[in-house]
Amino acid sequence: MLNPTTNDAEVLALGAMAATLSDERRARRFLDLTGLEVDELRERALAGDRRLLGATIAFLESYEPDLVAVAEAIGSTPAKLVAAREVLEA
């Protein structure tokens, strides 16, 4: 699935966000860099904010070890996550 549908991309991105936030170091860095508060993040994620979902994957892309770790944690690959971000940003 290197050309995911929008729904597939959203599912992957939500999984990536959950995995990102489950790691304390990664979660703190994500929140610090985005300036989001936990409540705002939760609200936007539940609303299916495609910009936030794409930004989550872009955040992971900025540090390859995190991208690889999160992809493995959700049973995906880095390439699939990148493809999902591209769909979400289209």
- Give the pLDDT score at 31: 93
- Give the pLDDT score at 80: 96
pTM of the model: 0.89
**Closest listed residue to residue 20, CA positions, set 85, 66, 68:** 66
The runs of H, that is alpha helices, within the chain are 6-22, 24-34, 38-46, 50-61, 64-73, 78-89
What are 3-55's pLDDT values in tens digits? 678 889 999 999 999 999 999 999 999 999 989 898 998 899 888 899 999 99
- Give the pLDDT score at 2: 59
Contact 10, 88 (CB under 8 A): yes
- Give the pLDDT score at 3: 66
* Token representation of residue 29: 């860095």
